[in-house]
Amino acid sequence: MIKNISTFFKIKPAVAVGFLFSVSSLLFGTWVAAIPGIKYKLGFTDGSLGLSLLLSPLGAITGMLLSTRVFSKIEVGKWMLGGYSALCIIMLLQINSVNRWMFWACLYCYGTISFLNGVSSNATVNLLEKKYNRLMMSTCHGMYSLGGAVSAGLAALLFSVHVTSQWQIVIVSLTIIVVLISNKEHLLGNKEIIHSRSGIKLPSLAIMGISFICMVSFMAEGCVADWSAIYFKEVLHSPKAFMSLGYAGFSVAMTVGRLNGDTLISRFGSKNIVIAGAMIASLGFLMVVLAPTVMFAIAGYILIGLGCCCIVPVLFSASANIPGVSTVEGFAMVTTGGLIGFLTGPSLIGFISEKAGLSKALSLLILMTLLAAFAAWRNQFLVNKKTIDGSLSFDEQLY
């Protein structure tokens, strides 16, 4: 991992784009810590807040529909600089909303800009991989995971010294914008137009297969985030001190795995990584469902994190290199699957849990991850690209 990170940080344009992944999670982590205060301030119930939060994915769908038009006109570097700066301002206004209408507008805009930012940054990483002849998608996604951990710790620290969420987002947003401006040269150096305005095509079965795998991976992540603490409390009867350790173990495993991911993908091949990752995640969910103790369940969540960590970076790289499909269209197809999984997965688990219990509900993820492994094995766009010559230095490895 140290060698991978050290060589990655020598490539300044890659570091500038990698920071953008951290921006998303830094803002999101600050937002998560602010939700309880916003709920109280604007007088939301659990139900009305839940319905309000659906405006973000609705905005993301709007972003998907706009993506081909936007990226056929605007250079990707200009969008990244402007888009991520805009995201900071939107989140600042969102957390400081003075009424529900302002809050709802910010949620919708946040979803739209977030989707377009994700397309621009992932597409640029794909271009940089080709330019520098080395893998870096997983490392960039690892920086997203790292940003989430930093934001959670920072929020806790600032709350301890009585800094409210309204001021926390001001500090975080201004810091991010300063860093973005300092990296302006590297970001604006990406002058590519990443979409050709070709017509939207119906996806092939192979592309739908990649989207399905992404859906399962995001479903797994969403269910771990939303249900792990409840599972520990209601099924395993865990002490309060242990209830968050399932998600913590998952998050740490995800971060460590992604920061090592480019080395692993280069060594073992993309298809093998996705197949093995899905099967490891399936084993992790099996351990969670059958867990006799809290520690056994924590080990299961760690396995889920290790299994899922490299799947999404591989899928984004694969979707950007599908013959006859533009990078923007490829990302949109895959991200749509992920969006469906992230939104519907936790709700589906909740519905099954009400009828059959949470353990049986989580068993669905065992089956889904096995199906994802099978879909990866059969997919023609997932191939085992490895280094051409193992004697090359890490910076010179081709994939």
| Residuewise pLDDT in 10s, the chain (399 residues) | 566 777 888 899 999 999 999 998 899 878 877 887 888 899 988 678 877 887 888 888 898 888 888 998 999 999 999 999 999 999 999 999 999 999 999 999 998 999 899 889 988 998 898 898 888 888 898 888 888 778 877 887 888 888 888 999 999 999 999 999 999 999 999 998 887 555 555 566 777 888 899 999 988 988 887 788 788 888 888 887 677 788 888 888 988 899 888 888 888 899 999 999 999 999 999 999 999 999 999 999 999 999 999 999 999 888 877 777 777 777 777 777 777 777 677 778 888 888 888 888 899 999 999 999 999 998 888 887 654 333 333 333 322
Q: Among 197, 230, 250, identify where a domain stops.
A: 197
> Same domain for 145 and 233?
no
CATH number at residue 329: 1.20.1250.20
> Same domain for 122 and 222?
no
Does some domain include residue 114? yes
Number of domains composing the chain: 2
Does some domain include residue 399? no
pLDDT of residue 194: 81
d(CA 314, CA 272): 10
Angle separating helix axes 358-378 and 205-234, nearest 10 degrees:
160
Nearest Cα to Cα of residue 137 among 290, 337, 331: 331
Nearest Cα to Cα of residue 217 among 111, 65, 335: 335
What number of CA atoms fall less than 13 Å from residue 145's CA on the CB side? 29
Q: Among 197, 222, 256, identify where a domain stops.
A: 197
> Same domain for 158 and 295?
no
Residue whose entry in the numeric block shows the structure tokens 């401006």: 181
Angle separating helix axes 100-132 and 311-319, nearest 10 degrees:
70
Does some domain include residue 124? yes
Structure tokens at 315: 């899928």
Structural domain that includes position 374: 201-386
> Same domain for 282 and 205?
yes
**DSSP codes joined into one string, 260-284:** HHHHHHHHH-HHHHHHHHHHHHHHH
Does some domain include residue 166? yes
**CA torsion angle for 310, 151, 19, 372 (degrees, to 10)?**
20
The H-or-E segment that residue 324 falls in is: none
d(CA 350, CA 346): 6
d(CA 155, CA 150): 9
Does some domain include residue 375? yes
Yes or no: say if 106 and 97 are a contact pair by the CB < 8 Å rule: yes
What number of CA atoms fall less than 13 Å from residue 129's CA on the CB side? 24
Yes or no: say if 337 and 214 are a contact pair by the CB < 8 Å rule: yes
Does some domain include residue 395? no
> Same domain for 182 and 225?
no
Residue whose entry in the numeric block shows the structure tokens 């740490």: 252
List all residues 6 or more positions away from 19 whose beta carbon is below 8 Å from its beta carbon. Answer: 143, 179, 180, 183
SS3 of 382, please?
A: coil
Q: Among 169, 197, 225, identify where a domain stops.
A: 197
> Same domain for 165 and 209?
no
> Same domain for 3 and 126?
yes
Yes or no: say if 95 and 31 are a contact pair by the CB < 8 Å rule: yes
Does some domain include residue 396? no
SS3 of 236, please?
A: coil
Residue whose entry in the numeric block shows the structure tokens 């599908």: 322
Structure tokens at 373: 């492994």
d(CA 236, CA 52): 32
Structure tokens at 356: 């059959």
SS3 of 237, please?
A: coil
- How far is the first Cα of the chain from the last one, in angstroms, to the nearest whole number? 18
d(CA 123, CA 333): 13
Residue 269 φ/ψ region, left for φ over 0, alpha for ψ in the -120 to 50 degree band, beta for the rest: left
